[in-house]
Amino acid sequence: MSTAAPEPKANMGQPIPRYDAVAKVTGRAEYAADVPLANPAYAYLVTSAIAKGRVDSFDLDEARRVRGVIDIITHENMVKLKDAKLFSNGGYMSTTVQPLKSADIAHDGQIIAVVLAESFEAARDAAHRVKVSYSTMPPTASFDSQGTTAAGAKGQLAQFKEDPEVGDFAKGFDSAEVKVSAEYETPTQHHNPMELFATSCAWNGDQLTIYEPSQYVYGLKNGVAEQLGVDADKVRVINAYVGGAFGSKGSVTPRTAIIASLARRLNRPVKLVATRDQGFTIATYRAETRHQVKLGAGRDGKLLALRHDGHEISSRPDPYAVGGTKTTTRLYACPNVASMVSIVRADRNTPGFMRSPPEVPYLFALESAMDELAIELNMDPIELRRINDTTTEPIKGKPYTSRSLMACFDEAAKAFDWSKRNPTPRSMSDGDWLIGYGCATTCYPTQMAPAAARVRLQRDGRVRVQIAGHEIGNGAYTVIAQAAAERLGVPIENVSVMIGDSDLPPAPVAGGSNSTASTCSAVMKVCDQVRQRLLKAVMPEEGVINRAKETVGVGRTPVTDAAHGDQALDREKAFDALGVGVVEEYGEWKPEGAPLDSFHAMYAGHARLIGGPEFGDKIAYAFGAEFVEVRINRNTREIRVPRLVGAFACGHIMNPRTARSQLMGGLIWGMSSALLEATEIDPRNARYVNDNLADYLVPVNADVPSVEVILLSEQDDQVNPAGVKGLGELGNVGTNAAVCNAIFHATGQRIRKLPVRLEKLEI
Amino acid sequence: MRSFSYQRASDPQAALQALAVTAAATTPLTEASSQPLAGGTTLIDLMKLDVMRPERLVDINPLAGNWAQVDLDGGNLKLGALAHMSQVAGHAEVRQNYPVIADSLKLAASPQLRNMATLGGNVLQRTRCSYFRDVSYAECNKRNPGSGCAAMDGFNRMHAVLGTSHQCIATYPGDFAQALIALDAAIEITSKSGPRSMSFAEFHRAPGDTPAIETVLAPGELISGFAIDGRWPRSVYLKVRDRQSYEFALASAAVALDLQNGVINDARLALGGVATVPWRAREAEAVLKGQKLDDALAERAADAAFADARGRQHNAFKIALGKRVVAHALKKAIAMEI
């Protein structure tokens, strides 16, 4: 595997090393739990051992006797917090279950007590000595358990707006010559970021500072303020780095307001680092899903009918669903489409977004079904995609702003040596190993949200950019620095970036792959404001200013061909003309078509994401093609993946190095999701069994000997000023299906239920 | 984790003295209030999970001067209990003469763990049963005798199909012990009453009615080392698992063969990942002895090894898988160029 950063192609930025690389590899990067606090008390959570019922009583005597214990908080002595709405229903919260509010227990691992002590060790020791008596009711664990209730997602979940349909599916399916009808299942999965769910809260008078890894500091600040009933302007969230999140740190979990209220009560800082297994139940997860897909096509491979019905598990109180039919119904040209998403309630914690929330389970189903259709048609699966490729989505006939799907297939197929594939299943082998090649489409909606930024330029060319973005491993520091350096025409070393602090100008949630597009568009806009002020000082004529605004960088010659005749701005002269030391500008940016209340919502911690299928009269997606080689040992049935190849087209690539890293991680996770990852639920008690990293398997280096990421050059001027189509979630969407398609090719066996474990193979 | 006291033992006598406990003779070793600390890779884990609650840890790492040797002496192998897994796995002569030992160690855990964990601690490694390791499950006969077994009808994909009882189906998780069993190793034990040596095959105890008692080691005793007679260059360890590295076996086989003119003169076979204890497959060995290996014989041996196996809801696949692993391991051992 090549480790060099890729060479930039047309419409790509430079592959500069990560802004935060040295800090991270030397351990200097300060994560939330690393921040030193003055005389903190340590919190340790006690969580329920049952999924449904109530706490009858606590026996706290032995726990209280542990030296160093300060207090033990249960529903009996907890201050009342205000109820807050679910993130996906217009609020902030990951769940509407409010622990410690009453004796009731709504799910496994619910917080039922908090031990406060002078040390982490004392708090943990005491927590282990808390004895709880429960009244247990039989819980509903999942789809096949007794007591589930199901209903359509539409109408009960604000974020789920439509069950897309067009034409007459039944008629189209009936008339189709070739049909596929199949059911698919994906398991419960947990994000398991390396960094645990930590929260430190410190009050200074009526000012609260929260140190917590978050993908949305403005959401966290406003959500906690709402729960505590305090002014949001008096709450500050700080997290310079987030040690992985993948969606789990996007919404506000109940722990934060609990810790904040205990810090207020104790009048000293309180620090919590929840354990790995607690992380499975005090935050969100990817719920298990079931799908029925029906495809009807002519002998020529053209789709005539497509139906996709999805069922998703959610908790009793909260109607969460990812609802990926908005994508799967629009991916290919098809005149007759129907779909329906249903939510099935069980006694579980509320699920939430997890990297590529809707597309991962829903494209697994569709892209597996497409492979099955290709088999039925005796057609190359790439050709089937080509025949059904489209420049307009079929539901409303809106044009894609750009779509390089087939170019991605062609590039990836070439790199993968797809032409060497014998299409007959079970036809390729190497010694004891059966070999299978598989591929699938990947796509992800291009989304943006309003953002604001403050940019300061000094006379000496140094720049400071402030924006409450989030470094979740996505390269936020780096691409924001690049956007400012390019726009202001200064060396990248001149730019310092401050993010991860809710006292900075607001940025949206680092989710839905909107971060780079939103933050860079805002930063670029504010950089332009800086340039205009300087230009006005030295070029007072309006016409010149407008021309210069388009073409002239600060302190270097213009970059575009059209601008060759223009003069570069002399920065020092402009500063002297203005008679100031620094030029600082604050500005807000919102995407085209953003709702009127976007800026207001932005400050209140509500991200109004625009894009994907809901982008005015257009539709915006990033695309890719993913190829997998699997090897299955005839003797032992071990499944290995020696090669992953993906080609992706995502508009302007800010930084090929960080982009490649994101996509590589996505490919690896996709393989992991297909073969390894599943949270096992004990159906008798609705509890997670393998709630640790020894039993919840993720790949190790030996599992991924070769991953190749190909970045295609693509230009899209319609999506946003940065021309960026987010790619953070693109990498792991198609991989599940590509792995199963490769397994079919290797063995002739179609696996429709993830993960694929060796006992499922019947070779 | 509960608070505990820590003591460093400067020599074996001091260690034995510190470990001497007043607990009743029936107390399982793992429940003793004083526990020896070597690599700590199992013990500290289980203390953090509140599964083990010793009041005193006796650090025996200072004894490594006496107990960490790797000696190939006169055609026999002696291994000290405090030798690290990585040290033995990477030992050139061990690799050459006892590949089954080197591979069983190399294929276990991660480099970091192998650098910390000792051989003595390795064979005492406790089960990975999720219900055992999570004290919020009340039912666990191993952790809480008489409370029941949550795994029996719970999620039991990783659990044992051999050597189970109505009380416990927890899998013995290690790898090295299978190699020791296959090589008919002796284990050396030191106590206040002096050293003793016994067959390693007798060391672990199947759960039966007392799953809390996992070995014959008594409180106050220490493992000092292992001894293996002869050299076994024709030996292999085959381990099948969900991912390529850093994972416990779904099924594994340790095979050692003495081949003369293509005929199996002596065969040793031990199974891992499928049994409650390191499992010697004597019935399979009997099938093999005096025969030439072909596909049919390998299959017969594999069938014999799993004749008494009993699967449950999620782990029944281990019977078929285990048989394939045995057959494949035998073929690999035969094919070795010695």
User: Is A695 near chain B, with CB under 8 Å?
Assistant: yes
| Radius of gyration from C-alpha coordinates of chain A | 27
Query: Are A433 and A509 in the same domain?
Result: no
Euclidean distance between CA atoms B181 and B199, whole angstroms? 9
Query: Are A639 and A723 in the same domain?
Result: yes
Q: Is the peptide bond before B278 cis (omega within 30 degrees of 0)?
A: no
> Within a domain: residue A309?
no
Contact A121 B3 (CB under 8 A): yes
**Quick check: A140 and A686 in contact, CB under 8 A?**
yes
For the segment A96-115, what is each residue's pLDDT rounded down to a tens digit? 999 999 999 999 999 999 99
**Quick check: A221 and A509 in contact, CB under 8 A?**
no
CA distance B265 to chain A (A): 25
Query: Are A426 and A457 in the same domain?
Result: no
Contact B247 A124 (CB under 8 A): no
Domain closes at, from A525, A555, A589? A589
Mean pLDDT of chain A: 95
User: Is A674 near chain B, with CB under 8 Å?
Assistant: no
User: Is A276 near chain B, with CB under 8 Å?
Assistant: no
- Which residues from B are below 8 Å from A277, CB to CB? 134
CA distance B80 to chain A (A): 28
Q: What is the DSSP letter of B33?
A: S
In this prediction, residue B24 has a pLDDT band, given cuts at 50, 70 and 90, of low
Taking CA atoms, what residue in B is nearest to A44? B1
For the segment B163-205, what is each residue's pLDDT rounded down to a tens digit? 999 999 999 999 999 999 999 999 999 998 999 999 999 999 9
- The mean pLDDT value for A388-394 works out to 98
Residue from A759, A760, A763 whose CB has the most chain B CBs within 10 Å, to mutate: A759
**Quick check: A321 and A160 in contact, CB under 8 A?**
yes
In this prediction, residue B26 has a pLDDT band, given cuts at 50, 70 and 90, of confident
Euclidean distance between CA atoms B29 and B26, whole angstroms? 9
Beta-carbon count within 10 A of A149 CB = 10
> Within a domain: residue A458?
yes
In this prediction, residue A37 carries a pLDDT of 98
In this prediction, residue B107 has a pLDDT band, given cuts at 50, 70 and 90, of very high
Contact A49 B136 (CB under 8 A): yes
Taking CA atoms, what residue in B is nearest to A109? B136
Is the pLDDT at A560 greater than 80? The verdict is no
For the segment B53-64, what is each residue's pLDDT rounded down to a tens digit? 999 999 999 999
- Which residues from A are below 8 Å from B324, CB to CB? 635-637
**Quick check: B229 and B76 in contact, CB under 8 A?**
yes
- The mean pLDDT value for A399-421 works out to 98
Domain ranges of chain B: 5-61, 68-123+185-228
Euclidean distance between CA atoms A516 and A444, whole angstroms? 14
User: Is A701 near chain B, with CB under 8 Å?
Assistant: yes
> Within a domain: residue A652?
yes
Beta-carbon count within 10 A of A759 CB = 16
The residue type found at A418 is W
- The mean pLDDT value for B282-298 works out to 97
Contact B317 A700 (CB under 8 A): no
Q: What is the ipTM of this complex?
A: 0.96
In this prediction, residue A569 carries a pLDDT of 78
Taking CA atoms, what residue in A is nearest to B246? A700
Taking CA atoms, what residue in B is nearest to A128? B50
Is the pLDDT at A547 greater than 80? The verdict is no
> Within a domain: residue A318?
no
- The mean pLDDT value for A644-648 works out to 98
Of B153, B240, B243, the CB nearest to A700: B243
| CATH number of the domain enclosing A455 | 3.30.365.10
Active-site residue list of A:
729
Bridge partners, A632 (sequence order): A434, A639
Contacts of B108 (CB under 8 A, 6+ apart): B85, B114, B122, B174, B175, B176
- Which residues from B are below 8 Å from A42, CB to CB? none
Q: What percent of chain B has pLDDT over 90?
A: 94
CA distance A120 to chain B (A): 10
Contacts of A374 (CB under 8 A, 6+ apart): A380, A381, A383, A384
CA distance A418 to chain B (A): 26
Is the pLDDT at A371 greater than 60? The verdict is yes
Angle between helices A476-488 and A515-538 (to 10 degrees): 20
Query: Are A457 and A571 in the same domain?
Result: yes
**Quick check: B220 and B29 in contact, CB under 8 A?**
no
Domain count, chain A: 2
**Quick check: A33 and A200 in contact, CB under 8 A?**
yes
Q: What is the DSSP letter of B289?
A: T
Query: Are A760 and A631 in the same domain?
Result: yes
Just give the CATH number of B68-123+185-228. Answer: 3.30.465.10
Strands (E) located in B139-290: 186-191, 194-199, 222-228, 235-240, 251-260, 263-272, 279-280
Query: Are A530 and A492 in the same domain?
Result: yes
Q: What is the dihedral of CA A758, A143, A351, A324, to 10 degrees?
A: 80
Contact A124 B240 (CB under 8 A): no
Q: Tokens 């897994």 correspond to what residue?
A: B85
CB pairs under 8 A between A and B: 83
CA distance B253 to chain A (A): 12
For the segment A473-504, what is each residue's pLDDT rounded down to a tens digit? 999 999 999 999 999 999 999 999 999 999 99
Is the pLDDT at A601 greater than 70? The verdict is yes
Of B154, B245, B324, the CB nearest to A702: B245
Contacts of A55 (CB under 8 A, 6+ apart): A48, A74, A75, A103, A105, A112, A132, A133, A134
CA distance A233 to chain B (A): 40
- Which residues from A are below 8 Å from B247, CB to CB? 697, 700
Contact B128 A124 (CB under 8 A): no
Query: B7: helix, coil or strand?
Result: strand
Contact A636 B321 (CB under 8 A): yes
Is the pLDDT at A738 greater than 90? The verdict is yes
Q: What percent of chain A has pLDDT over 70?
A: 96
> Within a domain: residue A164?
no
In this prediction, residue B73 has a pLDDT band, given cuts at 50, 70 and 90, of confident
- Which residues from A are below 8 Å from B137, CB to CB? 49
Euclidean distance between CA atoms A482 and A487, whole angstroms? 8
Query: Are A763 and A651 in the same domain?
Result: yes
Contact A757 B242 (CB under 8 A): yes
Bridge partners, A748 (sequence order): none
User: Is A144 near chain B, with CB under 8 Å?
Assistant: no
> Within a domain: residue A41?
no
* Domain boundaries, position A25: 1-30+398-448+610-763
For the segment A255-306, what is each residue's pLDDT rounded down to a tens digit? 999 999 999 999 999 999 999 999 999 999 999 999 999 999 999 999 999 9
Contact A640 B244 (CB under 8 A): yes
Taking CA atoms, what residue in B is nearest to A47? B136
Of the candidates A441, A426, A379, A371, the residue with the CA atom closest to the CA atom of residue A623: A441
- Which residues from A are below 8 Å from B153, CB to CB? 684
How far, in Å, are A94, A197, A255 from residue A221 at the CA level?
Answer: 14, 16, 13
Query: Are A626 and A570 in the same domain?
Result: no
> Within a domain: residue A278?
no
Query: Are A574 and A718 in the same domain?
Result: no
Q: Which element (helix H / strand E) includes A204?
A: strand A198-204
Is the pLDDT at A542 greater than 90? The verdict is no
Euclidean distance between CA atoms B330 and B255, whole angstroms? 7
User: Is A682 near chain B, with CB under 8 Å?
Assistant: yes
Backbone angles phi, psi at A498, to 5 degrees: -115, 120
**Quick check: A71 and A64 in contact, CB under 8 A?**
no
User: Is A62 near chain B, with CB under 8 Å?
Assistant: no
Top-tier CATH class for B5-61: alpha beta
- Which residues from A are below 8 Å from B155, CB to CB? 680-682, 689-690
Bridge partners, B254 (sequence order): B237, B270
CA distance from start to end of chain B:
50
Query: Are A437 and A476 in the same domain?
Result: no
- Which residues from B are below 8 Å from A686, CB to CB? none
Query: Are A621 and A763 in the same domain?
Result: yes
Contact A128 B1 (CB under 8 A): yes
Query: Are A444 and A460 in the same domain?
Result: no
Of A676, A680, A697, the CB nearest to B155: A680
Contact B324 A635 (CB under 8 A): yes
For the segment A115-168, what is each residue's pLDDT rounded down to a tens digit? 999 999 999 999 999 999 999 999 999 999 999 999 999 999 988 999 999 999
The residue type found at A514 is N
Is the pLDDT at A614 greater than 70? The verdict is yes
Length, in residues, of chain A: 763
Q: Up-side HSE of residue A316: CA atoms within 13 Å toward CB?
A: 14
Alpha helices, H only, A594-734? 598-603, 656-675
> Within a domain: residue A58?
no
- The mean pLDDT value for A567-575 works out to 84
Contact B2 A758 (CB under 8 A): no
CA distance B225 to chain A (A): 29
- Residue A176 in tokens: 């189709």
- Which residues from B are below 8 Å from A62, CB to CB? none
Residue from B1, B130, B295 whose CB has the most chain A CBs within 10 Å, to mutate: B130
For the segment A317-333, what is each residue's pLDDT rounded down to a tens digit? 999 999 999 999 999 99
Contact A682 B135 (CB under 8 A): no
How far, in Å, are A581, A728, B129 from residue B133 at the CA level?
Answer: 63, 36, 6
